[in-house]
Amino acid sequence: MADVRPVTMERITTESLAQAFIDEQVAALRKQIGNGKVLLALSGGVDSSVVAALLIKAVGDQLTCVHVNHGLLRKGEPEQVIEVFRNQMKANLVYVDAVDRFLDKLAGVSDPEEKRKIIGAEFIRVFEEEARKLDGIRFLGQGTIYPDILESDGVKAHHNVGGLPEDLHFELVEPVKFLYKDEVRVVGKALGLPDNMVYRQPFPGPGLGVRCVGAITRDRLEAVRESDAILREEFAASGLQGKVWQYFTIVPDIKSTGIKDNKRTWDWPVVIRAVNSVDATAATIEEVPYALLGKITNRILAEVKGVNRVLYDLSPKPVATIEWE
């Protein structure tokens, strides 16, 4: 049906093509939405951020963005969403601190698929509650992009709010549904979004939850978040940001012996993973310079609580997957 990219649509590769796309979409959004109200789940990822920025431009305060902090976001992400969208772009932004809710639901759950199901279902529940608090919403903005349509019938796994109950029937607003990821980034840049939002590496919907392997505990999750922040900082400082496809840390639920201040410790290892890929179906290992690995290791061992060992995962996909769960 209509969900096929028009053959005449030019690939958006430049700022001026992006500006033309933005003008066209702003007009189309105004036509579709009229004086109606729109709701958008804003994760802070590039797709939903670009949709938010387009909607702010088109319909301003007819838009309400909901940012759900499920406690599995990277360090600084919720703060950046608030800064960019509420403070700078003056959007109506509902920030939902659902950290305890998610972590309580996940307590003791070690099966990876069960963890994903809980995170997905709880996200829908939180979003539904917020939607019910708002009156007169007719439209639902979604960051669907063209690969989502090609690969999975338009169902976006990581911010799919398609599971909302029957009585919350919204008309969908999907302004970037015919764009490929690289085009979304060009449009995001033209919309003035910050580089670290526009050029973000892929990040799974269940977030750091799949990198805190096994049953999630708050202290081990903090070790994932803090080590990930150090890795990203050091990759950025060495010019690897934007060059390596995906890089992150994992903290498995195992302990080993170490020694600190002349005392034995019984702590977790942090695993570093840095891979290159085109479409995530296969991945090769980034040859990170040894000196950089050493620097990151020393920082993690000095700064991250509960960690006494750092490892580098050399396994390509296949045989391994990119994430550990």
Residues that bind ligand XMP (CB under 6 A): 116, 157-158, 202, 204-206, 210, 246, 280, 317, 321-323
Length of the chain: 325
Alpha carbon 116 to chain centroid, angstroms: 14
Closest distance between ligand XMP and the C-beta of residue 157, in Å?
A: 5
Q: What does the alpha-carbon distance between residue 322 and residue 16 come to, in Å, rounded to a whole number?
A: 36
Structure tokens at 298: 């020393």
Closest distance between ligand XMP and the C-beta of residue 16, in Å?
A: 31
Helices (H) and strands (E) in the chain, counts: 10, 10
Structure tokens at 98: 């659902």
Alpha carbon 22 to chain centroid, angstroms: 23
Nearest residue to 213 via CA among 108, 86, 325: 325
Residue placing its CB nearer to ligand XMP in the complex, 150 or 157:
157
Tell the burial category of 318 from Cβ atoms under 10 Å away from its Cβ (0-12, 13-18, 19+). Answer: exposed
Give 10's DSSP letter. Answer: P
Asked if 272 and 296 count as a contact pair (C-beta separation under 8 A), the reply is: yes
Residue placing its CB nearer to ligand XMP in the complex, 285 or 301:
285
Closest distance between ligand XMP and the C-beta of residue 292, in Å?
A: 22
Q: What does the alpha-carbon distance between residue 17 and residue 54 come to, in Å, rounded to a whole number?
A: 15
Residue placing its CB nearer to ligand XMP in the complex, 188 or 206:
206
Structure tokens at 322: 């990119």
Closest distance between ligand XMP and the C-beta of residue 119, in Å?
A: 8
Closest distance between ligand XMP and the C-beta of residue 282, in Å?
A: 9
Residue placing its CB nearer to ligand XMP in the complex, 47 or 267:
47
Closest distance between ligand XMP and the C-beta of residue 310, in Å?
A: 21
Residue placing its CB nearer to ligand XMP in the complex, 91 or 176:
176
Residue placing its CB nearer to ligand XMP in the complex, 70 or 158:
158
